């Protein structure tokens, strides 16, 4: 290649570079004037940092959903958050991962601590780990409940702004739309959803769908009142808007509910922890007692100590469940359990299981069937009859097997302690020195040789033990008194070893415990029924507020009121539903049947007022006392809530402190006093014989 060709190539490259540069400058100027720059400006500030918390929780969500054990809890939390974050997948995933991460941050250190503290006691470690797995549910429910409380408190400000917007626009849907667009709160998404319902082609159908997914009953009431006002128009009552008056009534109900929840949270915030603490303190308390009072080692490390440990753990578990049920009873929280196809339904589909369960199921229409069905309804349980009996049978089988296993382990512990206990007289205070412990273990090892020789021979005579002892090198130079003492000691140990096996009465006890476990789901339902009865007055007062909102709206009749009461009822849902279904066959007769079924007098008075409104007088006249005595009912509602919280608090304290009291009395004080007195009595007897 000659020099001329090289110059041509260089010149052409330089020219091409200049052309590209000119084209780039022209294109840049054109893009600056176009929409491209506006898009770039809009993107500024919306991009997340590479390692931001937002992205971290999104990635954690994808990790959690791939882990089988965590996926169950992930789905549970997601169901709750989907209701709050309507059609917002990004926030739903972020919130779900955040709640689950917080629970894991608390439980993983607790889990590792449990393993390190109870590594020498596998039975205790196993029970504690199961208990901590159960606690995941509680921690997750608590985190999601905080979100429910947050959205409830946001509704106070939201409804306040609705009032101002309604004055400006005088249109329900426009007021809701403007407030929902202006605010950046969680409740704003609910406002947008309600607005979409009101402007839809079939708002009544869409409203029914929303009732199933609304986070709380107050949003249901607001959506319903907004729909009725849009459909039938607003009215002036005593110079003010009926719609705004109804919104104010809902706000007052919310304020009472927030105060009630805050007080319940305050009363119960430490009870759950107090009920759990005894289980976590069992091992440290045992180690402290043994290190300071050596004479208690035989009790704590033996069968008796293990029995008390198991009883305290069972009591703690029961107390924890009851405290949670007591606190959460009557809550407006959404049920997140899979009620369509739970494990009970899958199990019941198997032919063998179905045949077994059907043997236990009471016959349809029988007295037992009606009684259990009533318990399920009155406790607002989501269980079907078949699922309840699967729970009962499963608990009975598991309890029976676990009881037999525990009895076997207790016998093994008792035998193992005989073989490993340092053989020495009781010391009232302190422990053995290294020298004394070494000497005591030598005696134990010598005893073990005799025990192995006669193990499994319950008819062994004392003379046989004595001959075997005299043959041991350890007792070659021992006098008759020392040999006699060794023989008596070994005879006592041998008796324990040869009698520590599964006895017939223990099998019988296992079946008794199985029967108790079989009945426990029914007892739990009864407990829920009793606790829900405490909420009766509160629910009736909520009915009064609903009637007060509806009675002045035109075209509202008793049937519409009943439908609203059914929608928001909890305790009285079954009789109201039955009345609604029978209403068209005869309004007065359906109400009369409901009145006969209900025994709570304040609700009976409401039914009588509805009967009067059906046949004789307008609804406004039938319930005129609700409006005239509104202030009285508000004060009565506050007083009722105070009494309810106080009563629940008293019951909760008794249940919550029961494990703690049993731990200190049954696991520390009684053993120390009883074994101490026994040891002192033995010591005095020895001293007397020496004289």
DSSP string covering 635-648, please? HHHHHHHHHHHHHH
Residue with more model confidence, 380 or 521: 521
- Which ranges constitute the DSSP H helices of 233-350? 242-268, 271-292, 297-300, 303-328, 343-348
Distance CA 448, CA 548 (A): 83
Mean pLDDT for the stretch of residues 648-677 = 83
Cα–chain center distance at 574: 25
What pLDDT shows up at residue 183?
A: 63
Distance CA 514, CA 407 (A): 14
Name the pTM for this structure.
Answer: 0.67
Q: Is the pLDDT of residue 545 over 90?
A: no
> How many C-beta neighbours within 10 Å does residue 179 have?
25
Q: What is the DSSP letter of 667?
A: I
Instruction: Please say whether the beta carbons of 95 and 147 come within 8 A.
Output: yes
**Nearest by Cα to 421 from 400, 444, 439:** 444
What pLDDT shows up at residue 616?
A: 73
Burial class (CB in 10 A: 0-12, 13-18, 19+), 23: exposed
Q: Lowest-pLDDT range, 135-144, 306-315, 389-398, 462-471?
A: 135-144
What contacts 488, CB < 8 A, 6 or more positions away?
none
What pLDDT shows up at residue 333?
A: 42
Q: Is the pLDDT of residue 669 over 60?
A: yes
Instruction: Please say whether the beta carbons of 487 and 466 come within 8 A.
Output: yes
Instruction: Give whichever of 357-371, 504-518, 536-550 has the largest mean pLDDT.
Output: 504-518
What pLDDT shows up at residue 400?
A: 92
Residue with more model confidence, 476 or 585: 585
Instruction: Give whichever of 215-224, 231-240, 387-396, 590-599 has the largest mean pLDDT.
Output: 387-396
Q: Is the pLDDT of residue 475 over 60?
A: yes
Distance CA 96, CA 102 (A): 10
Distance CA 500, CA 43 (A): 77
Cα–Cα separations (whole angstroms), residue 336 to 65, 66, 351: 17, 20, 28
Q: Is the pLDDT of residue 308 over 80?
A: yes
**237 by DSSP, 3-state: which?**
strand
Residue with more model confidence, 679 or 452: 452
Residue with more model confidence, 196 or 298: 196
Token pair 């999104």 is found at: 58
What pLDDT shows up at residue 368?
A: 87
Distance CA 24, CA 30 (A): 10
Distance CA 86, CA 210 (A): 11
Distance CA 258, CA 682 (A): 63
Residue-wise DSSP of 579-591: HHHHGGG-HHHHH
Distance CA 134, CA 139 (A): 9
Q: Name residue 316's beta-bridge partners.
A: none
What contacts 509, CB < 8 A, 6 or more positions away?
403, 407
> Is the Cα torsion angle 191, 193, 198, 199 positive or negative in sign?
positive
Distance CA 47, CA 570 (A): 47
Residue-wise DSSP of 445-490: HHHHHHHHHHTT-TT--HHHHHHHHHHSGGGTT--HHHHHHHHHHH
Residue with more model confidence, 28 or 228: 228
Q: Lowest-pLDDT range, 40-49, 267-276, 395-404, 471-480?
A: 40-49
Dump pLDDT digits (tens) for 57-92.
Answer: 788 888 888 887 777 778 777 777 776 666 667 777
Instruction: Please say whether the beta carbons of 622 and 609 come within 8 A.
Output: yes
Mean pLDDT for the stretch of residues 454-461 = 77
Residue with more model confidence, 295 or 148: 148
In degrees and rounded to multiples of 5, residue 330 shows phi and psi of 80, 5
Burial class (CB in 10 A: 0-12, 13-18, 19+), 203: buried
Q: Is the pLDDT of residue 515 over 90?
A: yes
Kindly indicate the confidence band of residue 335, based on its pLDDT and cuts at 50, 70 and 90. Answer: very low
Dump pLDDT digits (tens) for 595-640.
Answer: 888 877 888 888 888 888 887 788 888 887 776 666 777 777 778 7
Q: What is the DSSP letter of 363?
A: P
Domain residue ranges in the chain: 338-533, 552-622
CA 304-126-505 angle, 5° bins: 40
The tally of CA atoms less than 13 A away on the side-chain side of residue 145 is 18
What pLDDT shows up at residue 511?
A: 92
Q: Which two tokens stand for residue 418?
A: 């005989």
Percent of the chain with pLDDT over 70: 82
Q: Is the pLDDT of residue 332 over 60?
A: no
Instruction: Please say whether the beta carbons of 76 and 141 come within 8 A.
Output: no
Cα–chain center distance at 652: 15
Mean pLDDT for the stretch of residues 117-133 = 68
Kindly indicate the confidence band of residue 15, based on its pLDDT and cuts at 50, 70 and 90. Answer: low
What pLDDT shows up at residue 338?
A: 46
**Nearest by Cα to 225 from 243, 238, 207, 239:** 243
Kindly indicate the confidence band of residue 570, based on its pLDDT and cuts at 50, 70 and 90. Answer: confident
Q: Which two tokens stand for residue 55?
A: 């992205």
CA 361-363-366 angle, 5° bins: 125
250-288 burial, b at 16+ Cβ within 10 Å, e below that, comes to bbebbebbeebbebbeebbeebbebbbebbbbbbebbee
Mean pLDDT for the stretch of residues 581-586 = 86
Averaged confidence pLDDT in the chain: 78
**Nearest by Cα to 414 from 512, 304, 313:** 304
What pLDDT shows up at residue 514?
A: 92
Cα–chain center distance at 277: 17
What pLDDT shows up at residue 663?
A: 86
Q: Lowest-pLDDT range, 134-143, 271-280, 521-530?
A: 134-143
Kindly indicate the confidence band of residue 690, based on its pLDDT and cuts at 50, 70 and 90. Answer: low
Dump pLDDT digits (tens) for 339-368.
Answer: 456 778 888 888 888 888 888 888 887 888
Mean pLDDT for the stretch of residues 500-526 = 88
Q: Is the pLDDT of residue 110 over 80?
A: no
Cα–chain center distance at 351: 32
Distance CA 285, CA 276 (A): 15
Distance CA 247, CA 226 (A): 9
Dump pLDDT digits (tens) for 379-436.
Answer: 767 788 888 899 999 999 999 998 898 888 888 888 887 777 777 654 544 455 667 6
What pLDDT shows up at residue 28?
A: 59
Distance CA 295, CA 194 (A): 71
Instruction: Please say whether the beta carbons of 518 and 364 come within 8 A.
Output: no
Distance CA 451, CA 74 (A): 55
What pLDDT shows up at residue 396?
A: 92
What pLDDT shows up at residue 364?
A: 83
Mean pLDDT for the stretch of residues 434-460 = 76
User: Max Cα separation, the chain?
Assistant: 133
């Amino acid at each position: 290649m000659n020099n001329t060709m090289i110059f041509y190539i260089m010149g052409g490259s330089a020219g091409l570079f200049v052309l590209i540069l000119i084209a780039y400058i022209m294109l840049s100027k054109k893009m600056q004037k176009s929409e491209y720059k506006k898009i770039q400006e809009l993107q500024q500030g919306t991009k997340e940092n590479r390692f931001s918390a937002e992205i971290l929780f999104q990635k954690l969500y994808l990790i959690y959903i791939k882990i089988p054990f965590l996926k169950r809890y992930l789905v549970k939390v997601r169901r709750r958050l989907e209701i709050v974050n309507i059609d917002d997948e990004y926030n739903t995933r972020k919130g779900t991962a955040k709640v689950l991460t917080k629970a894991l941050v608390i439980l993983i250190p607790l889990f590792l601590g449990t393993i390190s503290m109870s590594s020498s006691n596998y039975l205790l470690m196993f029970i504690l780990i199961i208990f901590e797995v159960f606690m995941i549910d509680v921690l997750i429910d608590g985190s999601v409940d905080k979100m429910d409380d947050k959205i409830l408190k946001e509704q106070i400000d939201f409804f306040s702004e609705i009032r101002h917007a309604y004055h400006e626009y005088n249109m329900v849907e426009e007021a809701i739309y403007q407030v929902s667009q202006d605010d950046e709160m969680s409740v704003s998404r609910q406002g947008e959803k309600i607005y979409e319902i009101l402007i839809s082609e079939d708002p009544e159908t869409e409203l029914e769908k929303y009732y199933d997914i609304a986070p709380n009953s107050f949003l249901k009431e607001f959506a319903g009142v907004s729909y009725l006002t849009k459909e039938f128009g607003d009215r002036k009552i005593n110079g003010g808007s009926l719609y705004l008056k109804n919104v104010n009534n809902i706000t007052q109900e919310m304020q009472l509910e927030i105060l009630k929840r805050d007080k319940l949270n305050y009363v119960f915030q430490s009870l759950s922890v107090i009920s759990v603490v005894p289980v976590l303190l069992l091992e440290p308390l045992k180690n402290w007692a043994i290190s300071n009072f050596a004479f208690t080692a035989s009790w704590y490390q033996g069968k008796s100590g293990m029995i008390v440990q198991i009883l305290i753990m069972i009591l703690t578990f029961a107390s924890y469940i009851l405290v949670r049920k007591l606190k959460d009873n009557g809550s407006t929280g959404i049920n997140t359990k899979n009620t369509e196809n739970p494990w009970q339904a899958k199990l019941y589909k198997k032919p063998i299981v179905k045949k077994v369960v059907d043997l236990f199921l009471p016959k349809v229409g029988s007295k037992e069937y009606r009684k259990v069905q009533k318990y399920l309804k009155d406790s607002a349980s989501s269980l079907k009859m078949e699922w309840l009996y699967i729970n009962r049978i499963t608990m009975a089988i598991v309890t029976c097997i676990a009881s037999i296993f525990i009895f076997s382990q207790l016998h093994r512990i008792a035998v193992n302690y005989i073989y490993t206990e340092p053989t020495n007289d009781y010391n009232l205070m302190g422990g053995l020195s290294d020298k004394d412990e070494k000497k005591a273990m030598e005696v134990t090892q010598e005893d073990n040789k005799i025990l192995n020789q006669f193990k499994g021979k319950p008819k062994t005579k004392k003379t046989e033990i004595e001959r075997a002892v005299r043959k041991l090198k350890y007792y070659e130079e021992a006098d008759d008194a020392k040999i006699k003492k060794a023989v008596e000691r070994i005879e006592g140990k041998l008796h324990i070893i040869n009698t520590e096996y599964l006895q017939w009465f223990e099998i019988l006890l296992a079946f008794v415990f199985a029967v108790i476990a079989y009945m426990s789901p029914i007892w739990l339902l009864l407990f829920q029924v009793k606790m829900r009865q405490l909420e009766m007055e509160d629910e009736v007062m909520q009915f009064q507020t609903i009637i007060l909102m509806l009675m002045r709206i035109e075209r509202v009749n008793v049937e519409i009121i009943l439908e609203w009461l059914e929608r928001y009822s909890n305790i009285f849902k079954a009789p109201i539903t039955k009345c609604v279904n029978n209403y068209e066959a005869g309004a007065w007769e359906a109400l009369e049947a409901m009145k006969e079924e209900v025994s709570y007098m304040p609700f009976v008075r409401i039914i009588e007022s509805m009967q009067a409104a059906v046949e004789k007088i307008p609804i406004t006249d039938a319930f005129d006392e609700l409006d005239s005595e509104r202030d009285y009912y508000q004060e009565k509602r506050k007083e009722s809530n105070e009494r309810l919280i106080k009563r629940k608090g008293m019951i909760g304290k008794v249940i919550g402190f029961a494990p703690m009291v049993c731990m200190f009395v049954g696991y520390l004080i009684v053993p120390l006093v009883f074994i101490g007195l026994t040891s002192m009595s033995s010591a005095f007897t020895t001293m007397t014989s020496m004289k």
